[in-house]
């Protein structure tokens, strides 16, 4: 079985932690979904999606059913996972676990995937941080849920994976209002564009929220999913191109037995 290429975070390359930010390469899907689409919510051939997910599970060294995820809804809800879901996954946007050999997966297509680990406490987490979830506190909620499992805030490391970059993330004034209504200081995450347009820095905003939550070890991959067409799926690129659907990237982390 072909192993898909993967992007890694330096801070998570430690004994017992296995992780990967997977892009669009190394799968079997075709057309709009070429080739490693793992999004069951897309209109891709379900058999292709399952084969792609099998390849991800194989790359992570786990059984297919041990690649777990959630039904993502752009919320700040976090769930604790102790075993593979017996049926439909819950609606949430982050997962945490202290169970070895259980791979936590998050789907994105411009939103920020954030992987967490406390290697000393052997607790991991994964979060889907779109602008709404990040603003509503999904990252802080993930940290809190890890602490409930025994993690130490000072030991938690976080890596922000490939996501849409500021230059590609053009928004309107009503979008900016959502942020400055919450905190006028959030204006600094916006650069002025043409007319009344603004450009939002999702990656830096996530890094700020993680730092404000007390994390000392934060890495940014700084890879723009919107412009790197050969590497990643992108909702915005698909929308601007008039495409009817789009694939999803997956980011995964697990704690190995040791």
Q: What is the CATH number of the domain that holds 15?
A: 3.60.140.10
What is the helix (H) or strand (E) element at residue 232, kind and residue range?
none
29 Cβ partners below 8 Å, 6+ apart?
Answer: 35, 36, 37, 44, 45, 48, 49, 52, 247
Residue found by looking up tokens 């450009």 in the block: 199
**Quick check: is 66 in a domain?**
yes
3-class secondary structure, 67 = strand
Give the pTM: 0.98
**Quick check: is 184 in a domain?**
no
| pLDDT tens for each residue of 155-214 | 999 999 999 999 999 999 999 999 999 999 999 999 999 999 999 999 999 999 999 999
pLDDT (0 to 100) of residue 3: 83
**Quick check: is 239 in a domain?**
yes
Q: Is the confidence at residue 258, as pLDDT, over 90?
A: no
Q: How many other C-beta atoms can be found within 10 angstroms of the C-beta atom of residue 93?
A: 29
**Quick check: is 89 in a domain?**
yes
Dig out the tokens for 61 from the structure.
């060294």
Q: How many other C-beta atoms can be found within 10 angstroms of the C-beta atom of residue 47?
A: 10
| pLDDT band, residue 2 (cuts 50/70/90) | confident
**Quick check: is 192 in a domain?**
no
Nearest-CA neighbor of 62 among 31, 29, 19, 111? 19
**How many domains would you assign to the chain?**
1
**Quick check: is 180 in a domain?**
no
Q: Is the confidence at residue 72, as pLDDT, over 80?
A: yes
Domain that holds residue 128: 6-165+201-255
| pLDDT tens for each residue of 110-168 | 999 999 999 999 999 999 999 999 999 999 999 999 999 999 999 999 999 999 999 99
């Amino acid at each position: 079985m072909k192993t898909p290429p993967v992007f890694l975070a330096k801070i998570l390359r430690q004994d017992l932690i296995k992780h990967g930010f997977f892009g669009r390469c190394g799968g079997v899907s075709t057309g709009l979904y070429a080739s490693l689409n793992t999004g069951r919510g897309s209109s891709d051939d379900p058999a292709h999606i399952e084969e792609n997910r099998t390849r991800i599970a194989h790359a992570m060294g786990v059984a297919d059913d041990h690649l777990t995820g959630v039904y993502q809804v752009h919320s700040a809800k976090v769930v604790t996972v102790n075993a593979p879901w017996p049926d439909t996954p819950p609606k949430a946007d982050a997962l945490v676990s202290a169970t070895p050999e259980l791979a936590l997966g998050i789907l994105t297509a411009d939103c920020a995937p954030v992987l967490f680990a406390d290697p000393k406490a052997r607790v991991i987490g994964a979060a889907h941080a779109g602008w709404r979830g990040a603003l509503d506190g999904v990252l802080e909620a993930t940290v809190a849920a890890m602490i409930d499992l025994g993690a130490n805030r000072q030991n938690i490391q976080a890596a922000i994976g490939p996501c849409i970059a500021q230059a590609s993330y053009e928004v309107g004034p009503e979008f900016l209002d959502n942020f400055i209504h919450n905190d006028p200081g959030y204006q600094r995450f916006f650069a002025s564009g043409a007319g009344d347009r603004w450009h939002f820095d999702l990656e830096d905003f996530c890094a700020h929220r993680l730092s404000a939550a007390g994390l000392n070890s934060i890495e940014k991959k700084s890879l723009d999913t919107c412009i790197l067409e050969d590497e990643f799926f992108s909702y915005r690129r698909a929308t601007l191109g008039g495409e009817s659907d789009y694939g999803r990237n997956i980011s995964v982390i697990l704690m190995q037995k040791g």
